[in-house]
Structures are given as structure tokens and as C-alpha cells.
Amino acid sequence: MRILCVVGARPNFMKIAPIIHEIRRHPDLTPILVHTGQHYDASMSDAFFRDLDIPEPDAHLRVGSGSHAAQTAGVMIAFEPVLSQQAPDVVVVVGDVNSTLACALVAAKLGVPVAHVEAGLRSRDRTMPEEINRLATDAIADILLTPSEDADANLRSEGVAPERIRRVGNVMIDTLVQQRARATPPSLWHEAGLAEGRYLYVTMHRPANVDTPEMLGHFLGIFGEIQRRVPVVWPLHPRTRARLAEFGLMDSARQWPGLVLGEPLPYRESLWLMASSAGVITDSGGVQEETTALGIPCLTARPNTERPITVTHGTNTLVGSDRERILCEVAAILDGRGKRGRTPPLWDGHAAERIIAALRELVPACRAARQSPAPAHAPRANGEPG
């Protein structure tokens, strides 16, 4: 079986690495890795390939940044000839970034089965581009590989046949389990004189939080208040750094000695800061999952989450942008009353094994179904009416 895996942006790397490693353990399976280049600089891509032992991609599309429409279209145009040349038995897409949807669309139209890892997650917020990507990808995927029970329920409520759904657990936790012992402190750990359990770790990049001066300034003021009590470590996503500069807020961010700003970090250094912190403030879906697995209290600066299991089972608390709520929850964390939770079922470091088992079971049937004669009223291959 030839298994083509798509990776495009930083959240994908931690999900695809265990799958590639598991495929390579089986002599009868052939991994094909395509990097769309949605995240293309060293801090957002190259360092993760190195840290996670991901092999050089078989194809690099180098699409780069752009609007959602331009980026999605660029990936589709670049991916189509690669897919035709590689002729895989299945295309595996992960997560909810633009590359996920773009490659799923191309594969579906070329008649190649699509398996979606992390299927079924829903925030119910269609203002999030990721929610549109999740809904559309699941609608055209043949095999839906879910991380949790709520994801199964979402798919069933949308009419997905149960035989197409397999709960495999959270593959991102495979990477966390594999890399935990290899995590190392970044240089800013030493430079800022940080101590374990004596600082908060921040990640923030979503447009709703950083794309207006009012909202970004609002959060900056909250972090300024928190740093009076404990250091706040904030590696800046390229988007966030650009907005701080654009809105003239960088000088304000640098005025507080307890607000430690840094560059985007490689995975192992980010994992170290997360695992060694008193708590985390984030708007990232993946960080909600990682903090739950680590037992670190997490405050999510969003009104909703596509990962509700991190709230019901894990360490996550939704705080939105409410200043008083955030400061109250931070105080609880620093006083030792932060949420601890428990690890959800199947977040055990073996999701990749279950993914490969599911592909072995389901891909042959998908391919057989696609090769069956089309009904007389089906559209022609070029998209024109029959």
C-alpha cells in the first residue's frame, strides 16, 4: 500500500511524524510525504522536521502565504500533478489547515481515497476558517479517524456512516510521549532566569485575538498585569509579531521586565516551556491537547473550542477575552488551585498504530468501491453533465 501523507503547517508536523514513523516500520507499506509549504520558514517548518525526525519530503510544493482562497487554490494546483505522478492508494490529511482541505479536494476529484486524521472536531463557530476546513474535509473524506468520543458523535449526527468512522485517539500525543524526555530549555529560559513552576507560558496567533489594535492591546494589558506577579513567557508567532509592529505596540510590550518575548520555538523547546510552566494561556487547539496530556492548567482565550474533551476531561478552561476572568483564573493557578483533569481515553502514545490498522482495513474497500462502474446519470470525469 502506497500511503501519501500531506503536511503543510506547524500544527500538522506533530501529527504526521508518528504516522510516517509507523508506516516505515512495515515493509509492505510505502510512505510518500508531500509538504505543501504553507508554513515555509525555518522557525515554522525546518526546525520541526529536524526535531521530529521527519524525512525529507518526496515533494515540496512551496506554496507559501496568501489569502485563504489564494493559498487553497495554490495548493490544489501544485498538488494535482504530484498526486497523479505518485499514484498512491490513499491520501492521508491531518488537522484543519488550508492544505488539509485543498489536498482532500484534489484527491477526491481524482478518485483517490481520502483518510482524515482528527476528523469530527467541531467548534460550531463558522467564523473560524478552520471550522470550514473541518466540515468540508469530513464531507468528502472516505475514512474518518477521530481522536475522541465527541468527534464520533458529531460525525454520526452529520449523517456519516458508522463503518467509515474509526476512533484512533490523539496522534499528537504520540509525538509528545516520544519527545518528552528529549525536551530541552530554550536560551531564553537561562537568559530570563526562569524557574520551573514559576512562570506562565503564552501562545497567541488567531486573527480574532491579534488582528485589531484594540484586541491585541487588550491582551497585552492583561499580560502586563500578570507579569507584576510572575514572569510571562511569550514566543511570538510571526503573525502576532507583525501585528505588534504594525499597531505600534511593540514598545509597550517591551516596557515590562516580566514579559519575556521571544521567537517561535522548535517543538522540543516549546514542550519544555509548556511542561515546566505553572500554567498556559493560549488560543491554539493543539496546546489545549498538549497541556491536558501534561497535566498543566490551560486558559484558552476563545469563546469556544473544537476540543471540548480538554474541558470536560482535561485541564482546559475557556476564558475568552474576559480580563477579570483571566486574572482570577491565573491567580488560582499561581495559588496551586489550577485545573488538573485527567487524560482522555486513547491519548496513550499509540494512535499511529491504530491509524495504520484502520487504513489496512478500510482502504481496500474504498478503492474497490471507487472502481465500481458509475451509474448512468453520474457526471463525466471532466465535471460536465452526463
Q: How far apart are CA 119 and CA 290, in angstroms?
A: 18
Active site residue 350: no
Instruction: Give the helix ranges, DSSP H, for 160-284.
Output: 171-179, 187-191, 207-210, 213-226, 238-246, 250-253, 267-276
For 219-273, list the strands marked E by DSSP: 232-235, 259-262
Q: What SS3 class is residue 127?
A: coil
Q: Which amino acid is at 359?
A: L
**Spatial distance between the Cα atoms of 184 and 66, rounded to a whole number of angstroms:** 33
Nearby residues of 345 by Cβ (< 8 Å), 6 or more positions away:
148, 149, 169
* Angle between helix 10-24 and helix 171-179 axes, rounded to 10 deg: 80
Burial (Cβ within 10 Å: 0-12, 13-18, ≥19) of residue 235: buried
8 A C-beta contact, residue 66 and residue 100? no
C-beta of residue 212 within 8 angstroms of C-beta of residue 245 = no
* 114-117, strands of its sheet edge to edge: 59-60, 30-35, 2-7, 90-94, 114-117, 143-146, 165-167
**Residue 207 is placed in which grid cell?**
486573527
Taking the C-alpha atoms of residue 41 and residue 58, their distance in angstroms, rounded to an integer, is: 18
* Cβ atoms 12, 20 nearer than 8 A: no
Cβ of 129: how many Cβ atoms within 10 Å? Answer: 16
Question: Are 280 and 192 in contact, with CB atoms under 8 Å apart?
Answer: no
Q: Which of 35, 39, 116, 205 is catalytic?
A: 205
Compute CA 208 distance to the chain's CA centroid, rounded to the nearest angstrom: 17
Active site residues: 205
